[in-house]
Amino acid sequence: MERISNLWDREELLIKNGIHFSSGTGLEVDINYYATPSIKIGSYFDFLEVYKKDYTNVTHIDIFNEMELASGCYCCIGEGSHGSEGFVAYLDADKNLLWVLYSEASNPFVRITEEYENIVVAESSANFKVRIDVNNPTSLSLI
């Protein structure tokens, strides 16, 4: 059974805006930066069902930065193979994927900082920032 973690291990992601969890679930998240930056949270989806419908709809990823957090876990940021794509990923202490936020329109995420313990801020090359609680990524917000 294919999961997002299998794609991650091959340096690929499913081209579907949202937060993809290693458990096999996902949450639709649309990030727009023009003309007014916004985040729109949609509904939950089953990763495997979406992947089965179009398993070729994947993008190759490049990791720009990986940062160890105070908790001993990791955050990674980068881009997909199309210029407009960006992602933020959260990995456990053994660097296994726990979740990844993928956006087809955010532009690459180029900087990541740990604002507080378990709170990261990812900056896009489109000049906006997303604040994410790594333990509750569905509560993400623009800053």
CB burial of 121-143 (b: ≥16 within 10 Å; e: otherwise) equals bbbbbbebbbebebeebeebeee
Give which of 39, 22, 21 is closest to 30, Cα–Cα.
39
What is the band of 111 on the pLDDT scale with cuts at 50, 70, 90?
very high
Query: Residues 131, 36, 61, 46: is their CA dihedral positive or negative?
Result: positive
Q: pLDDT tens across 30-67, in order? A: 999 888 889 999 999 999 999 999 999 999 999 999 99
Predicted TM-score (pTM) of the model is 0.96
The answer to whether residues 77 and 87 touch, using CB atoms and an 8 Å cutoff, is yes
Give which of 81, 88, 79 is closest to 107, Cα–Cα.
79
Is residue 75's pLDDT more than 70? yes
Mean pLDDT throughout 11-33? 97
Domain containing 120 equals: 4-142
Instruction: Name the domain count of the chain.
Output: 1
The answer to whether residues 26 and 45 touch, using CB atoms and an 8 Å cutoff, is yes
Is residue 83's pLDDT more than 80? yes
Q: pLDDT tens across 90-99, in order? A: 999 999 999 9
Is residue 2's pLDDT more than 80? no
Instruction: Report the mean per-residue pLDDT for the chain.
Output: 96
pLDDT at 1: 56
